[in-house]
Every structure is written in C-alpha cells, then in structure tokens.
Copies of this chain bind each other. A is one copy, B any other.
Amino acid sequence: MSDEMGNNRVHENGSDQDQSYVVDIYPLSNYYFGSKDAIPFKDETLADRLLRMKSNYVVHGLRTCVEAVILVELFKHPHLLLLQIRNSIFKLPGGRLRPGESDIDGLKRKLTRKLSLNGDGNEIGWEVGECLGMWWKPDFETLLFPYLPPNVKQPKECTKLFLVKLPVSRKFIVPKNLKLLAVPLCQIHENHKTYGPIIPGVPQLLSKFAFNIIDS
C-alpha cells in the first residue's frame, strides 16, 4: 500500500501514523452492471459432494479456495460486493484453485468468470492486493477455523481472502443465475445467521484500513 500513503484525502476513519493503510473506494454509481449466460453449478447431494471432495483430496491434496474482498462506497459507508446464489447463500466472489495454479492467477480467473465478460481482450484486469485472512477446514465434514486447530496435521481445505482494489470505473458482467449485491459493512459484522462463517469477520479484517472515499 506504500504507493498510496501520500494520499492526502484520508477519511477521518483513518489512523494518521506510519502504519496506517489507505484504500481508495469509489461510489457504486461509478460502476456499470450487465449480465451474461448462467454458469453451471455442480448440482449434487451433500453425500455426492463429500465423496467428490474426498476423491479430489486423494489425488490433489489440500484444496485452496481464493476469495475477493471488493469495496464500493454508498451513503458514505463502505459496502462489500457479494454474490447471492439462488436467492439464499451469500458468497465472496472467487472459487477453488486448479492444481498447481497460483493464488493470484486463480483469483483473477474466477473474478473474470463471475464478474466480467470471459476472454474480453479489453479486460482491464484485477488488482489483487494483500491477503487479509485465511480459514482452515480440518476435515471434510467440519467447520472452518481462522487457525489450524491443535493436532490437525493434514487440513483438507484452506480459504484465503484477498483485498481486490477497483479502478475508478468498470463494467461488471454477472452470470444470470447469480446476483451481485453491495452490502454495508455495518450489516455484515457478526451477522453469522445471514452470511455464514467467513463474511461476518470481513469488517474486522478491514478495520486497520482508512477508507479514502472519492466521490467524483
């Protein structure tokens, strides 16, 4: 973030010392939204899914999932971009890495798949910033933890959250079977009932940042 430290329009939410971090965020109205064909979901039973996870683990080992924390401004408050599936589950944009794929490459591929036109030559690209947090699944059936629980030697899945910084404007093209929503941080914080195990902690992971709201 050091290239942004000189920024002089720091929101009052900010720390003003050496260790502060400043993130520029832009109004939701700066962005354009379109849709594209639905992407297929693996429609399967819980038992089938478990079986698939187990056989994948045997072949590829620890599975890594990468997810993006993307912010826009609305009513002077940071909003997090979330995808909603079938009017129920909320997810951060992202997904699982292919075997051998790097975190950054995989996240860019997933973001393009879910938020842009595929293979668009004019793609501006995605600016993947720092890793904000990691969650571990010690076993196939268990919950996620933000640490490797004691005595767990071979975790089955790791989910990494990355801050992805948006340019001043861009076009989002979202598959028809997904809904892209901007949800205020104050609605997400500790709201496990609606947002599951990982998303409610995002406001804490972002709390060290000063948001520089640029209303052009």
Contact = CB atoms under 8 A, between A and B. Distances in A.
Interface of A: 12-13, 15, 17, 19-20, 75-78, 102-104, 130-136, 145-151, 153, 160, 184-186, 189, 201, 203-208
A146 B184 contact: no
B189 A146 contact: yes
Nearest to A160: B15
Contacts of A134: 15, 207-208
10 contacts: A13-B147, A15-B103, A17-B103, A17-B104, A19-B103, A78-B147, A132-B208, A134-B207, A146-B189, A204-B204
B19 A131 contact: yes
Nearest to A19: B131
Contact of A207 (B19, B133, B207): B133
A41 B208 CA distance: 29
Contacts of A104: 17
B19 A130 contact: yes
Nearest to A198: B204
B135 A77 contact: no
